[in-house]
Amino acid sequence: MYTLDDLLNLMARLRDPQYGCPWDTKQTYASLVPFTLEEAYEVADAIERSDFEHLQGELGDLLFQVVYYSQLAREEGRFEFAGVVDSITRKLIRRHPHVFPTGDLYAPLDVPRLSEQQVKERWDEIKAQERAEKSVAPQQLSLLDDVPVALPALSRAAKLQKRAAQVGFDWPGALPVLDKVREELDEVLEAMADNDSAAIRDEVGDLLFSVVNLARHLKVDPETALRGANAKFDRRFRFIEQALRDTLRPIEDCTLEDLDALWGEAKRQEKNLPSCG
C-alpha cells in the first residue's frame, strides 16, 4: 500500500521541470484554488449523501491539494509538507489545553473532562489571544480579522454574525430575527416599486444576511441548509422531466400550471419516502 511519502514523491515528479507533467508544471497557488474548493465540496457532498464508498477517494483528492500547495512552497523555499503538519499539530495542542495541559502530545490522558460550554469558552479565549499576538497595532485589531473573505457568502455571513455575538451584538432570540426578515422583505418590495436595480441588489443582500441570522439562531447551518434545498429542487425537477418523457411531452409545451402540478406530485411521492425531506 502506498504511503504519504509516496504521494509526496509523486507530486515532486509531476512538478519536475524536465520530466514532469506539462499541466502540473504550469500550476500556481492561484490556479489551484478553484480545484481545492471543488474537492472540498465533493467531500461534503459525499458525506451528506452518506456515500462512504467514495468518501475515501474524495478525501484523497482533497489531501492532494494540500500536497500540491506544499510542493509549490518547497520549490520556492517557503516551507514543506512536514512544516504544514507541524504547524497544525502545534496549533491544535495549543487550542486544547483541556486535553494537553502540559503541551505534551503524548502525556497520559488523565485530565478532568470539561463541559462543552467550558471548552467553547476556552476556545474563544485562545482565539482572541492569537488575534492579539498578530503583528497588528492593538487599535486595529478586530473580532472579524480572521474570518476568511474567500468563504462562501452564506458561511461567511454566519461567522461574522457569530463573532459579533461574542460581544453582545446580537438579537436575543429567533423571533426578533424573523421580524427583521419581514422588514428586509418589505424593503425589497419598496426597491422593486422604485425600479432601482442597485437598491434591489442591496436589499436582497440584506434579506439574505438576515435569513442567515435566522438560521444561526435556529442552530441551522445555512450553507448545509441551502445545499439540501438545492438537492431537493434538483430531485423534484428531474422527476418532472422524467414524467414528461414518459408521456412523450416536450417540457417546452407545458404551461407553468402543468409543471407546478407535476412538482406537487413529486412532493407527494417524497412524503412516502422516509429519506426525503
* Residue 145 or 140, more confident: 145
Please give the average per-residue pLDDT across 237-242, as a whole number. 96
Residue 126 pLDDT grade (very low, low, confident, very high; cuts 50, 70, 90): confident
Indicate whether 275 pLDDT > 50: no
91 Cβ neighbours under 8 A, 6+ residues apart: none
> Average of pLDDT values for 249-259?
95
> At residue 276, does pLDDT exceed 50?
no
pLDDT in tens, 177-232: 999 999 999 999 999 999 999 999 999 999 999 999 999 999 999 988 998 999 99
Q: What are phi and psi of 106, to 5 degrees?
A: -105, 20
Q: Taking the CB of residue 148, how many other CB atoms lie within 10 A of it?
A: 9
Highest-confidence range of 8-12, 43-47, 138-142, by mean pLDDT?
A: 8-12
Dihedral pair phi/psi, residue 209, rounded to 5°: -60, -40
pLDDT band for 118, please (50, 70, 90 cuts).
confident
Interatomic CA distance for residues 237 and 206, integer angstroms: 29
Q: Are 163 and 143 in contact (CB under 8 A)?
A: yes
277 has a pLDDT exceeding 50? no
Which set of grid coordinates corresponds to residue 50? 452518506
The percent of residues in the chain predicted with pLDDT above 90, rounded, is 70
Would you state the pLDDT for residue 111? Answer: 73
State yes or no: pLDDT of 137 exceeds 60. Answer: no
Q: What is the pLDDT of residues 17-63, one digit of tens each?
A: 999 999 999 999 999 998 999 999 899 989 988 999 999 999 999 99
Quick one: pLDDT at residue 107? 83
> Which residues, 6 or more positions from 20, have their beta carbon under 8 angstroms from its beta carbon?
13, 14
| 204 or 124, greater pLDDT | 204
pTM listed for this prediction: 0.66
Q: What is the pLDDT of residue 119?
A: 75
* Helix residue ranges per DSSP H, the chain: 4-14, 22-26, 29-48, 52-75, 81-95, 116-133, 153-165, 174-194, 197-217, 222-246, 256-271
**pLDDT over threshold 90, residue 96:** no
